[in-house]
Amino acid sequence: MKKIVIAGAGIGGMAVAGFLAKLGYKVDVYEKSESLDKMRYDWHDDVAPEIFSELGFEIPDGSFPKNDWTFVAPFDASRQTMHTPVENRDRSIERRAINKMLFDNANGAEFHFGATVEKPITENGAVKGIVVGGKEVFADLTIDSLGLNSFLRRQLPEEFNIQNEICPNEKFVAYRGFFNRLPGKADESEPSRVYMKHLGENGISWCLFDHNPNRMNVLIGRVGCLEKETFDKAMDDLKKKNPALGENLERGGIVCEIPIRYPVSRMVADGYVLIGDSAFMTIPMLGSGIASSLAAAKILSEVIEKKGEFDKASLYEYQYKCFKRFGAEHCGVDSLKRFLLGLDDKTLEWIFGSGLLNDNDLKNAAAGRLVTIKVSDYPEKLKHAKGHLVELLKMKVALDRSHKCFKIADRIPEKFDEKKVSKWQKRLDGMYE
Ligand SMILES: Cc1cc2nc3c(=O)[nH]c(=O)nc-3n(C[C@H](O)[C@H](O)[C@H](O)COP(=O)(O)OP(=O)(O)OC[C@H]3O[C@@H](n4cnc5c(N)ncnc54)[C@H](O)[C@@H]3O)c2cc1C
């Protein structure tokens, strides 16, 4: 029986553990957390709910629809609220309920908690297993679900052609905590405020009414790093502008890192596959990665079921399908995100305040879909552009570039051919240098 090792009980790793165990593989999952209920995170996350039925799961109990968000432009210059009918909104779901559901579904796999994966075992350009707690564990396939800072991906030799490190401007360092809500001080007209380039910093902060009527949900995230001074200033500002935000931390209160970039341009090697945050599968605009990790788990198990082999040419179909399903669009959205982050505050303010990007555009970008301005939209967009033609042109160039990135990514070679795939990779990575 072929042996599969899953490094890290990330969302994609746990999901694929269940699918592969059901196919009859011997599956071992190595996770550094001491137990399932200590795994991260102690909070709820927003997920597009269709992914659960697609994978044959029920949405875990206790979920609720996410609030409409109000985007606040830098320095409070303007605001724009996204309106989504309740039935079309993402659902907020307790992360530990998702973990439990995936763990129960993976009852055919063996979980080893308190097990820290240290490095890959490589030989002649192939991964042969992992070192865990000082011991070598050999396997026919290693699935890397260790998250953004994966010890495996980062230690792969150059010949694998897999990017080891993420650039600082491609990750979001985010604090998330839930605080008490002060009664009688809430502004119900905008229950969920998201501050773009909060206080002129690269990143966002939010202060949302939680579904628990006694709590506020706070996130302070910055691109690259989050200094204490930045955090303190942001927190003070949130408190000033959101009088309902209390002092007592009731849940969360930790700092984590999230990839906010396009997926890694090489996801497979002989005996090795990347999934989830270790493959940078999050939506570049917001860092949501649960739905794409689950979608990737399904794709991977189907490819393994079909091919039954673990060489890179066989596993490559997984990368191809991930790019077709969401990766190519994430490439386009990443390009747009880089443009918006690079803008000066005044232009960003105008873009958000003028209505140039409408409700639909914001929803698309947040959901990891391309933003498109059709020729027929231009008369309407031009109305907002009086005195701002330069900015409108800049926006058009940025959108064209975002579509170009999408097209390059979408032209991923269908079958594995080292030369063709390397050439495609070079072209795609080159767009973001
Ligand atoms: C503040 C915050 C808010 C988020 N909000 C959302 C949201 O609302 N919606 C959404 O879709 N996504 C959200 N995400 C992103 C989401 O968490 C990830 O995209 C998703 O969980 C997929 O990541 P992963 O499971 O691959 O990696 P991780 O969640 O990083 O999991 C990796 C696993 O590997 C384990 N591990 C790491 N190193 C080792 C090691 N050396 N040995 C053994 N085990 C190890 C870790 O303990 C962990 O269990 C958020 C992330 C953060 C940080």
- Of the candidate CATH numbers 3.30.9, 2.30.30, 3.40.720, 1.10.287, the domain formed by 169-259 belongs to 3.30.9
Comparing 347 with 411, the larger pLDDT belongs to: 411
d(CA 127, CA 115): 19
Strand partners, 92: 46, 64
What is the mean predicted confidence (pLDDT) over 218-226? 97
- Would you identify the CATH topology of the domain 3-64+92-165+264-326? FAD/NAD(P)-binding domain (3.50.50)
Considering the entire predicted model, what is its pTM?
0.95
CA 282 to ligand 1: nearest atom:
19
Tell me what percent of the residues of the chain surpass a pLDDT of 90: 76
Examine the pLDDT at 75 and tell me if it is beyond 80.
no
pLDDT tens-place string over residues 122-152: 999 999 999 999 999 999 999 999 999 999 9
pLDDT tens-place string over residues 364-404: 887 888 888 776 777 777 777 777 888 888 888 999 999 99
Structure tokens at 251: 């849940």
Top-confidence range, 184-198, 284-298, 358-372: 284-298
Residues with CB under 6 A from ligand 1: 8-12, 30-33, 39, 45-47, 116-117, 145-147, 151, 174, 176, 256, 258, 276-278, 282, 287-291, 293
d(CA 348, CA 77): 10
pLDDT score recorded for residue 404: 97
Output the CA 300–ligand 1 centroid distance in Å: 19
Output the CA 38–ligand 1 centroid distance in Å: 13
Domain ranges of the chain: 3-64+92-165+264-326, 169-259, 334-409
How many distinct helices (H) and strands (E) make up the chain? 13, 19
pLDDT score recorded for residue 375: 65
pLDDT tens-place string over residues 241-270: 999 999 999 999 999 999 999 999 999 999
Confidence of residue 11 (pLDDT cuts 50, 70, 90): very high
d(CA 39, CA 46): 18
Mean pLDDT of the chain: 93
Output the CA 387–ligand 1 centroid distance in Å: 44
Side-chain half-sphere exposure of 398, counting CA atoms within 13 A: 20
Comparing 162 with 383, the larger pLDDT belongs to: 162
Write the CB contacts of 9 (distance below 8 Å, at least 6 apart in sequence): 17, 29, 31, 33, 39, 99, 103, 111, 145
- Torsion sign across C-alpha atoms 245, 247, 253, 257: positive
Write the CB contacts of 324 (distance below 8 Å, at least 6 apart in sequence): 410, 412
What is the mean predicted confidence (pLDDT) over 158-172? 96
Output the CA 49–ligand 1 centroid distance in Å: 18
